[in-house]
Structure 1
Amino acid sequence: MEEKKKRLIPGVRVTSEFDSDSNIFFHRISCKLLDSVAKLKFSFHNNTNGEISDPEVRFVSKHLSLHYDLEENNVLLNTLFNVGPSFQFTSTHDLNSQQGHISLLSNLSHLPGYSLHLSTPLPSPLRFPKATFTFPIGEVCLQEEEEVEVVKDDHINNNLFSLNGIVKAQFLNGLCTAQYQDQDFKLRYSYKDDEMSFIPTFSLPSNALSFAFKRRLTPSDKFSYWYNCDSNYWSAVYKRTYGKDFKFKAGYDSEVRLGWASLWVGDEGGKANTAPMKMKVQFMLQVPQDDIKSSALMFRVKKRWDI
């Protein structure tokens, strides 16, 4: 009987993080409810003086989530539901501002890789919704925007349509990407193999050219270099891994004239529960080229407990 009672009690996860740069702690307490159908989370920040800020409570499930801000006494409501195999509705509503967002995603089942996404803010202005059409090699986005024009001290609102898009295709053993956004056109080519990557990028109308070069020296060592031909800024990074839980990185950025080095204990992009002792640690040393005496050593710690 005692074992059955223990199994009915949901497990609690406690995660704490500390950043020496801001001297702020972040804590999150979470547990699964209703046989893992939903999750309850409570989080807050506190400084070294013990002052608590940004307390939040979240209830998260597949189709409904509630985000309650205790300081602002505000609720953010998110919903998601499917209508058949091809349509998905999502909505967001902010209780205090009485504003939100609604969207519809339609997957064209008879055309794999094709979909249409429509979205509009609430309350909805008198304009067309934002439409994004996705296809196997890219996507195109059409959006109506309001532009304010001043004519003889009078403000005239003009509704204009903006078109953005991205297309990707294989070219000469690499991937070529053409992107048009906010009247800027960017052409990017990426060549990669097991040992080397070469990524030039060209932008119009600025005529800016840059390139990135990455070289795997050994299975554990990697060198990366980036250069902007327009500004002559460059950066370089050396990375060495020791298994999956230890990583050393060092680099220099000429734009900010800063050298740095960092050491990771635990997977840099992974979660704390996969790290040794369920704890991730990062040490970083920053050395400004113009003022070496102001060099700073910082660290971040993230620890998880399962109760």
Structure 2
Amino acid sequence: MAESPPPPPPSLPPNPNHMVPPIPHTDAPQSPASPISLLSKRPKLRVTSEFDSDTSLFFHKVSCKLLDSFAKLKLSFQNNNKGEPSQPQFALTSKLLSIHYDLEEQNALVKTSFDLGPKFHFKAAHDVKAKQGEVAMVADLGDPGYALEISSPVPTVGAPRATLKFPHGEVSLGEKEEEEARRTVSVSGIVKSQLTNGIFTAQFNDEDLKLRYCYKDETVSFIPSISLPSSALSFAFKRRFTPSNKLSYWYNFDSNNWSTVYKHTYGKDFKFKAGYDSDASLGWASLWVGDEASTAKTTPMKMKIQFMLQVPRDDIRNSALMFRVKKRWDI
């Protein structure tokens, strides 16, 4: 008679300290999304509309990001008071290439920019209808802030233009065309330097030179400037009474024209400004609802409104009240 198999060993009680070891974490990047998933994902549309009562025109812009923000597509056009569209333009921009197309002019402006190694950068622009453009090569000279740019128009006319950029400005050397089709050397640039408690700036272009000094502290700014050889002298004065109250004044000695602006802010989203311009003999006042310097995206309800009252000094009866409204929708 066959022997019966031995009984199975008794099962062990569960060990509360025994846990399944965790899956080791790796820093390997996730696989990129497939092209089908990128195309099937509907991009978000951003619609911005702006109306200016002075011109009675509506300006519209529709934009969206494509291929996981690899490129951006934008359509812009205007509407008059009859609702007729005009000036439609398309723009496709990316990090390496941008194309701006004007439907009415049937013209395209193409720009490209990319790196050629760690120290060289190439950029080019071409106007299709005018058959003109420009190419440029920028070389990093090693030290921070130093670079050399060589640029040339296309088709090539004369020698290329060389621009040396450094931390306190830049200097350009090229050619310019004068009478009788003669070409001469052209020198231009801008140089900045710290001087006492302000910044001194010299901007020159061939025979013209503009000198400017800007002194600024926490409450006062003083900016005199002079142009040579015309000796045109002007200055600007700015006074900050409180963080919410500022006064600015400009005066031109040649024409005796002057202008002044007073600005008062109420928090972040309200700004009142009033001023006078002697050249236009016009006084004005404006109120901004929404941050004036920011885009509509960061304002409450994504909307900016400006009301402006203009009062001519010689004829108050021709005063005009104008307004601008800018609204953004994210769809």
Tell me whether the two structures share a fold, i.e. TM-score over 0.5: yes
Residue matched to 2:275: 251
Matching residue of 1:141: 172
Instruction: Confirm whether residue 9 of structure 1 aligns to residue 42 of structure 2.
Output: yes
Q: Which amino acid aligns with 1:215?
A: R
Q: CA deviation at 1:75?
A: 2.2
Instruction: Give distance in 1, aligned partners of 2:102 and 2:228.
Output: 44
Once the 2 structures are TM-superposed, how far is the Cα of residue 182 of structure 1 from its aligned partner?
4.4
> Given the alignment, which residue of 94, 113, 132 partners 1:99?
132
Partner in structure 1 of residue 184 of structure 2: 160
Q: What residue is the counterpart of 2:199 in the other structure?
A: 175
Equivalent residue, structure 2, for 1:29: 62
Which structure shows the higher strand fraction? 1
The answer to whether residue 121 in structure 2 is matched with residue 88 in structure 1 is yes
Distance in 2 separating the partners of 1:104 and 1:236: 44
Equivalent residue letter for 2:94 = S
Cα deviation, residue 87, structure 1 = 1.4
Once the two structures are superposed, what CA deviation does each residue of 1:234-269 show, in whole Å capped at 9, x if it has no partner?
A: 111100001111111000111111111111111112
Aligned to 2:224: 200
Q: Distance between the aligned counterparts of 1:293 and 1:132, measured in 2?
A: 54
Gap change, CA 1:249 and 1:182, over 3 Å in 2: farther
User: For 1:211, what is the secondary structure of its paired residue?
Assistant: strand
Task: Describe how 1:12-91 pairs up with structure 2 within 5 A.
Answer: 12-91=45-124
Q: For 2:317, what is the secondary structure of its paired residue? A: helix
**Shift in Å at residue 160 of structure 1?**
0.7
Secondary structure of 1:237 counterpart: strand
For 1:280 and 1:92, the matched residues in 2 are separated by 34
Q: Which residue of 1 aligns with 2:20?
A: none
Instruction: Give the one of 142, 149, 154 matched to 1:117.
Output: 149
State the Cα distance separating 1:121 from its structure 2 match.
Answer: 1.5
- 2:261 alignment counterpart: 237
Q: Please give the alpha-carbon distance, in whole angstroms, between the structure 2 residues aligned to 1:200 and 1:216.
A: 18
List runs of 5+ in structure 1 lacking aligned partners.
Answer: 149-155
The equivalent residue for 1:305 is 329
CA distance in 2, matches of 1:218, 1:88: 46
Moved more, 248-257 or 95-104: 95-104
Deviation digits for residues 153-184 of structure 1 (CA, Å, limit 9, x no counterpart):
xxx21101111121111111111111212422
TM-score normalized with structure 2 length: 0.86
Q: Which moved more, 1:257-266 or 1:7-16?
A: 7-16
Letter aligned with residue 138 of structure 1: G
Shift in CA distance, 189/11, structure 1 to aligned 2, threshold 3 Å? same
SS in 1 for 2:74: strand
- Match of 1:190? 214
- % identical equivalent positions: 62
CA distance in 2, matches of 1:225, 1:91: 42
Counterpart in 1 of 2:17?
Answer: none
> Structure 1 residues 182, 233: closer, same or farther in 2, change over 3 A?
farther
Describe the shift of the 1:206–1:96 C-alpha distance in structure 2 as closer, same or farther (beyond 3 A). closer
CA distance, structure 2, for counterparts of residue 195 and residue 24 of structure 1: 40
Looking at structure 1, the residues matched to 99 and 181 of structure 2 have their Cα atoms a distance apart, in angstroms, of: 36
- Runs of 4+ in structure 1 off by over 3 angstroms are none
Residues 258-300 of structure 1 show CA distances to partners (whole Å, capped at 9, x for unaligned) of 1111111111121001111000111111111112111111111
* Corresponding residue SS for 2:178: strand
Structure 1 residue 261 corresponds to structure 2 residue 285: yes
Paired AA for residue 277 in structure 1: M
Structure 2: gaps of 5 or more residues: 1-36
Aligned to 1:165, the other structure's residue is in SS state strand
Give, in whole Å, the separation in 2 of the partners of 1:124 and 1:140.
21
Residue type of the partner of 1:114? Y
Matched position secondary structure for 1:293: helix
Q: Bigger radius of gyration, 1 or 2?
A: 2
CA distance in 2, matches of 1:185, 1:241: 37
CA RMSD of the aligned region, Å?
Answer: 1.7
Q: Which shifted more, 172-181 or 11-20?
A: 172-181
Amino acid at match of 1:264: W
